[in-house]
Amino acid sequence: MTQDALQIIAYCCEHCAYAAADLAGGLRIQYPPSVRVVMLPCTGKMDVLLALKAFEDGADGIMTAG
Amino acid sequence: MIVAEQKSLEEIKKLVGNAKKVLVAGCGTCVTVCFAGGSREAAIVSAELRMSTKLAGDPKEVADVTVQRQCEWEYLDEIAEQVQGVDVVLSLGCGVGVQAIAEHFPNVWVVPGLNTKFMGLPTEQGVWAERCAACGDCILGLTGGICPIARCSKSLLNGPCGGSLDGHCEINAEVPCGWQLIYDRLKSMGKLEVLMEIQAPKNWRTSRDGGPRKIVREDLRLVSEEK
């Protein structure tokens, strides 16, 4: 599987990592299309159930940023 | 509270066997607060079962539901429809919960997802310790509120034994000597004289030695026309 074919779910904090991703978009900075960003109100909201849900729905990996 | 631990996924899969439709039933009381079988754990076990059986080429339909208390039949009525529609119910309740489901739904196959361990309390986050052995004849009034039945490895009534060393039990240096705890507490309370009374052998018929136990409160029972 190529890197682009992977599906990585990135759970990002609304206040920092998500805003950073937004800014990266505004600056036209590229990141791999395999990364799908999901906004969390806070990474404290991150839970094993969210990770399991992502894997169950076919994700190859997850990352949390905050 | 009743303290339990989850069985391994491997054992759970064996218990579920060839069933195609599985209902994971959590309990919202004791096993929720000891993080073994509440709604969150039920959802996690469901996801694990769905994914692992799918990967093994034998996908199962797994749903989860949690009732407030599995150990009372009235609470089980709300999941009656769901349990009737599956091949097996994986109960994440304590042993009482599993049996309550089996008794309330005679035609439903139910298996345990937990190992029920003891009656105890959390001593720090993530640590639970046994405190009561349900002996049926409480003697905490004689021992400063520390139970020698549950906390002395030999359940001695006139301890400590010769295996008590530096406040620890001979079975394991990490286990506090129950009788040392009792002595220390009575000393700090200025009540060491309590220990001067020698306790006679305990009547264990009030415990498990007397067979399955039951309490009947005639003042609370419904007369036949009220049932």
Concatenate the DSSP letters of all residues of A1-66 into one string. Answer: --GGG--EEEEEETTTHHHHHHHHHHTT----TTEEEEEES-GGG--HHHHHHHHHTT-SEEEEE-
- A31–B contact, CB cutoff 8 A: no
Q: Which residues of B touch A (CB under 8 A)?
A: 40, 43-44, 47-48, 50-51
What are φ and ψ of residue A47, in 5° steps?
-145, 155
Q: Sign (positive/negative) of CA torsion B203, B208, B212, B213?
A: positive
Q: Are residues B107 and B145 in the same domain?
A: no
Give the pairing type, strands B172-176 and B88-91. unpaired
Identify whether the C-beta of residue B20 lies closer than 8 Å to the C-beta of residue B10: no
- How many angstroms away from the CA of A26 is the closest CA of chain B? 37
Q: What is the pLDDT of residue B225?
A: 76
Q: Are residues B140 and B106 in the same domain?
A: no
Q: What is the pLDDT of residue A32?
A: 87
- Quote the CA–CA distance of A24 and A31 in Å, as a whole number: 9
B223 assigned to some structural domain: no
**What average pLDDT score do residues A14-38 get?**
93
**What average pLDDT score do residues A7-20 get?**
96
Q: What is the pLDDT of residue A48?
A: 95
Return the SS3 of B51: helix
Per-residue exposure over B81-118, b if at least 16 CB sit within 10 Å of its own CB, e if not: eebeebbbbbbbbbebbbbbbeebbeebebbbbbebeb
Return the SS3 of B77: helix
Q: Are residues B86 and B145 in the same domain?
A: no
- Quote the CA–CA distance of B154 and B213 in Å, as a whole number: 23
We report the CATH number of the domain holding residue B39 as 3.40.50.2300
- A53–B contact, CB cutoff 8 A: yes
Q: What is the pLDDT of residue A1?
A: 63
Q: Write the single-letter amino acid at A35.
A: V
Q: What is the pLDDT of residue B223?
A: 83
Count of domains for chain B = 2
Give the Cβ contact number of residue A40 at 10 Å.
20
Evaluate if residue A4 carries a pLDDT over 90.
Answer: no
- The confidence band for A5, taking pLDDT boundaries of 50, 70 and 90, is confident
CB pairs under 8 A between A and B: 14
Say whether B51 and A48 touch across the interface (CB within 8 A): no
Q: Are residues B11 and B107 in the same domain?
A: yes
Which residue range is the domain that position B54 belongs to?
2-118
What DSSP line would sit under B113-161, residue for residue? SEEEEEEEEEEETTEEEEEE---SS--GGGTTT--HHHHSTT--SS---
Mean pLDDT of chain A: 92
B215 assigned to some structural domain: no
A22 contacts: CB under 8 Å, gap ≥ 6: none
B35 assigned to some structural domain: yes
Which residue from A minimizes the CA distance to B48?
A52
Give the residue ranges of chain B where pLDDT is below 50. Answer: none
- Quote the CA–CA distance of B76 and B97 in Å, as a whole number: 10
Q: Are residues B80 and B157 in the same domain?
A: no
**Residue boundaries of the structural domains of chain A:** 1-41
What are φ and ψ of residue B111, in 5° steps?
-130, 155
Identify whether the C-beta of residue B66 lies closer than 8 Å to the C-beta of residue B42: yes
Which residue from B minimizes the CA distance to A57?
B51
- A55–B contact, CB cutoff 8 A: yes
